Amino acid sequence: MQSARVIGHATATVKHPSMNGWKLVILQPLDIQNEPDEFPQLAIDPLGAREGDVVFFTSDTKYIQQVTGRKDSPIRFSIQGILDDQPEQPDRRKRK
């Protein structure tokens, strides 16, 4: 499990049947200081996260199989939780 910020959403016109009906979001993984870490990832969102939310996401195959109800799903990442207390985004910090 890793934290990430939702930076957008994606639309797929052709996709695996296990992805039908799922909201696809683009996640920017974060390091321990809440700074961008690695490349953005595509994930399904069963919780309704909004752009700018900080979430926890997982690549746990068993969890994704339970959420989608399919054992043959190619989905790699899924949001598992939304942080209640959202850290400030770097560009919104108050300057002294």
Q: Is 94 exposed, middle or buried (0-12, 13-18, 19+ CB in 10 A)?
A: exposed
pTM for this prediction: 0.81
Q: Are 42 and 56 in contact (CB under 8 A)?
A: no
Q: Is 7 helix (H, G, I), strand (E, B) or coil?
A: strand
Which architecture, in CATH terms, is 2-78? Beta Barrel (2.40)
Would you list the domain boundaries of the chain?
2-78
pLDDT of res. 88 = 64
Q: Are 78 and 63 in contact (CB under 8 A)?
A: yes
Q: List, for residues 39-88, the tens digit of each pLDDT value.
A: 999 999 999 999 999 999 999 989 899 989 999 989 999 999 999 876 56
